[in-house]
């Protein structure tokens, strides 16, 4: 009887394991938010939402959830230094408590998209919110020369330590890389000794990353084809690092949307989320998730 009970318990554990569940994501409500240019991403921090885009200069605006919509909270930050546009195409916020705050910038250097300049900026995030510009708040500029195409920083945890993960966008040789945040904070370039910790290959068209801490999963926020159609790829971070390639838990495609998915954040509990696109209309999408 004891062995039967143990067997039943094991079967129940396997059945109830989150990786065994079908995962569904659907758009409940889509609407338009202006004054961002083309929205490039979203960061959720302690009940506040920060959307960032590439208006006439790189821009960050704060929002609050009211009912089923985000409402502008009256705070705007320009990613300028001495009135000059610096982070003109923000592509990722890496925020984790008091750890260094990083912003990615991915700059296309030719129309074919074969030449890119990727830069990671260490920023005084509290100072930027207080003053509204990078003046006095830009702590370091790091060339992400270890990248292949673009950069999109996000904090992840691996072996009880926090790292800054980033990923490439293109269709050849894509990688997710983990950087040591203390080394990155002081580096001139990501190829400097001690910055790169681990890496693994991944599928194309990654626009942003989201760390699902409770599940140990990294969400690749992707396009199905270059610049079009939505894809969410959930990967097991530890298994991916061990194998050197992404180990997929689940892929969810949202085929009713043909525009360019740029960013996504879960809300606490992982049953709702907000997806943003670069479209001028319906660029903010409230989603429901079932595991």
pLDDT digit string (tens) for the chain, length 291 residues: 444 444 443 333 333 444 445 899 999 999 999 999 999 999 999 999 999 999 999 999 999 999 999 999 999 999 999 999 999 999 999 999 999 999 999 887 777 766 778 999 999 999 999 999 999 999 999 999 999 888 999 999 999 999 999 999 988 889 999 999 999 999 999 999 999 999 999 999 999 999 999 999 999 999 999 999 999 999 999 999 999 999 999 999 999 899 999 999 999 999 999 999 999 999 999 999 999
CA-wise closest residue to 181 among 113, 257, 97, 80: 97
Task: Spell out the domain ranges in the chain.
Answer: 35-290
**Exposed, middle or buried by CB within 10 Å (0-12, 13-18, 19+), for 66?**
exposed
Two tokens, residue 8: 């039943």
SS3 219: strand
Sign of the Cα torsion 218, 285, 222, 168 reads negative
Predicted pLDDT at 45: 97
DSSP characters over 112-176: TS--EEEEEEEE-HHHHHHHSSSTTTEEEEEE-TT-SS----EEEEETTEEEEEEE--SSSS-EE
CATH architecture of 35-290: 6 Propeller (2.120)
């Amino acid at each position: 009887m004891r062995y039967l009970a143990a067997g039943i318990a094991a079967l129940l554990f396997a059945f109830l394991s989150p990786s065994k569940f079908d995962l569904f994501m659907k758009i409940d409500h889509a609407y338009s938010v202006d004054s961002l240019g083309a929205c490039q991403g979203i960061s959720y921090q302690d009940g506040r939402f920060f959307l960032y885009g590439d208006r006439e200069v790189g821009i960050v605006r704060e929002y609050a959830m009211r009912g089923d919509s985000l409402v502008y909270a009256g705070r705007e930050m320009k990613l300028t230094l001495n009135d000059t546009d610096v982070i003109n195409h923000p592509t990722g916020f890496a925020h984790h408590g008091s750890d260094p705050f990083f912003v990615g910038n991915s700059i296309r250097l030719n129309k074919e998209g074969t030449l890119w300049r990727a830069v990671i900026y260490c920023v005084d995030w509290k100072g930027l919110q207080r003053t509204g510009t990078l003046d006095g708040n830009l702590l370091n500029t790091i060339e992400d020369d270890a990248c292949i195409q673009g950069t999109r920083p996000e904090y992840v945890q691996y072996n009880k330590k926090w790292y800054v993960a980033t990923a490439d966008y293109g269709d050849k040789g894509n990688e997710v890389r983990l950087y040591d945040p203390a080394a990155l904070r002081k580096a001139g370039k990501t190829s400097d000794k001690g910055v790169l910790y681990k890496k693994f290959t991944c599928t194309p068209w990654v626009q942003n990353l989201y760390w699902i801490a409770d599940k140990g999963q990294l969400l690749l926020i992707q396009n199905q084809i270059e610049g079009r159609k939505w894809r969410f790829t959930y990967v097991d971070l530890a298994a991916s690092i061990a194998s050197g390639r992404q180990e997929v838990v689940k892929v969810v495609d949202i085929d009713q949307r043909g525009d360019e998915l740029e960013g996504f954040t879960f809300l606490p509990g992982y049953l709702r989320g907000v997806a943003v696109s670069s479209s001028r209309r319906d660029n903010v999408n409230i989603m429901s998730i079932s595991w």
